[in-house]
Amino acid sequence: MSDDVNPQRRTLLGMAALGLAAGPLSLTTATAQAATSASVAPSTQGRGTHTAFAPLKTVRAGSLNVGYAEAGPADGPAVLLLHGWPYDIYSYVDVAPQLAASGYRVLVPYLRGYGTTRFLSEETARNGQQAAIAVDAMDFLDALKVETAILGGFDWGARTVNIMAALWPQRFRGMVSVSGYLIGSQEQNRKPLPPKAELQWWYQYYFATARGEAGYRQYTRDFARLIWEQASPRWAFDDATFDRSATAFQNPDHVAISIDNYRWRLGLAPGEAKYNDIEAKLAAFPDIAVPTITMEGDANGAPHPDPSAYAKKFTGKYQFRLVTGGIGHNLPQEAPQPFAQAIIDVTKL
């Protein structure tokens, strides 16, 4: 994907991601956003410094046995960091040590369908809808007896922390969300976009077909690498960096969860009835009052909303930060220092 998307087109692409085209964000103004904006100077400080976590842990949480990395003191303020697709916990391999050194307890779980996370039962639906992933994350915190936490995420992870902060705000002290407000709904996703905007979602429509599912299963690594290159066109990651993450896609449920996630968005997968109440709340696009910093890289090649499109969805203390210097979609891994600093700053706004 090109990194020179103009603001109007970017807004259209972002609304597809949000499921909010012509929806409840229409009153948001660029002026309101500018009052709480900040630019972060080009920085790759800390990038590539670390290549591994401490030995991974597991915990039984809800319908899953969750594999996760942990860093920092056990009694420190908890930070939950969630990855996206097709990425994994290594998006935070340089963020976690910086936060741990500042006294935070950092928790980085593999989402369902990734890495060492496994379903407890073969009978459980391999469901990738947004509510299911959010409930997984809440179950994970409950299993570890974490009462309050700071949230951070990008891509699927950003959508998930948005949901958690919107529906269970009493549990969270702050949130850092790359690309802003990403809560969606099947109803809004039924609305078509202009052809150039639809083109950016080519993989979503590919996944809607049997050929797409078979293609992703056969060429998972190649597919993931292509997405990395398109979403972060100026990130010169090496083979070793990609290979560390690609092992997570060998999870036996990875393809099923990935395909279901994108089919659910288009209304081609039904989801599960037990999540209907949550999805009904999300379809109203709830405001988020938890203190929030949203972030964007200046070279994000993936579909994402213009910051002016979502500023008013954050009704508490709020700031937007643009990270310059060719930073793409995988912002925590490409610019770990600015992301870690945002986690530290969000409770001090």
Question: Above pLDDT 90, what percent of the chain?
Answer: 86
Q: 205 in a domain, yes or no?
A: yes
* pLDDT given at position 36: 64
* pLDDT given at position 149: 98
- Mean pLDDT score of the chain, rounded to an integer? 90
Contact (CB, 8 A) for 207 and 254: no
Query: pLDDT of 42-51, one tens digit each?
Result: 556 679 899 9
* pLDDT given at position 44: 62
Cα 57 from Cα 313, distance rounded (Å): 35
Residue 46's domain spans which residues?
7-348
Query: Is 69's pLDDT higher than 70?
Result: yes
Cα 62 from Cα 81, distance rounded (Å): 18
> Number of folded domains in the chain?
1
Q: 67 in a domain, yes or no?
A: yes
At a CB cut-off of 8 Å and minimum separation 6, what does 145 contact? none
The position carrying tokens 């409930």 is 135
**pLDDT band at 102; cut points 50, 70, 90:** very high
* pLDDT given at position 46: 77
Average pLDDT rounded to a whole number, residues 143-158: 98
* pLDDT given at position 34: 39
Give the range among 9-13, 34-38, 117-121, 183-187 with minimum mean pLDDT: 9-13
Q: 88 in a domain, yes or no?
A: yes
Cα 162 from Cα 294, distance rounded (Å): 11
Q: 1 in a domain, yes or no?
A: no
Amino acid at 335: A
Query: pLDDT of 281-297, one tens digit each?
Result: 999 999 999 999 999 99
Q: 191 in a domain, yes or no?
A: yes
Q: What is the CATH number of the domain that holds 228?
A: 3.40.50.1820
According to the 3-state scheme, what is the secondary structure of the chain?
A: CCCCCCHHHHHHHHHHHHCCCCCCCCCCCHHHHHCCEEEECCCCCCCCCCCCCCCCEEEEECCEEEEEEEECCCCCCEEEEECCCCCCHHHHCCHHHHHHHCCCEEEEECCCCCCCCEECCCCCCCCCCHHHHHHHHHHHHHHCCCCCEEEEECCHHHHHHHHHHHHCHHHEEEEEEECCCCCCCHHHHCCCCCHHHHHCCHHHHHHCCHHHHHHHHHCHHHHHHHHHHHHCCCCCCCHHHHHHHHHHHHCCCHHHHHHHHHHHHCCCCCCCHHHHHHHHHHHCCCCECCCEEEEEECCCCCCCCCHHHCHHHECCCEEEEEECCCCCCCHHHHCHHHHHHHHHHHHHC
- Rounded (5°) CA angle 95-157-227: 90
Contact (CB, 8 A) for 71 and 53: yes
Query: Is 22's pLDDT higher than 50?
Result: no
* pLDDT given at position 43: 56
Beta bridge partner(s), residue 319 = 293
Q: Which two tokens stand for residue 328?
A: 């793409």
Q: 109 in a domain, yes or no?
A: yes
Q: 333 in a domain, yes or no?
A: yes
Of 83, 102, 94, 101, nearest to 152 (Cα)? 83
Average pLDDT rounded to a whole number, residues 176-194: 96
Query: pLDDT of 247-283, one tens digit each?
Result: 999 999 999 999 999 999 999 999 999 999 999 999 9
Q: 37 in a domain, yes or no?
A: yes
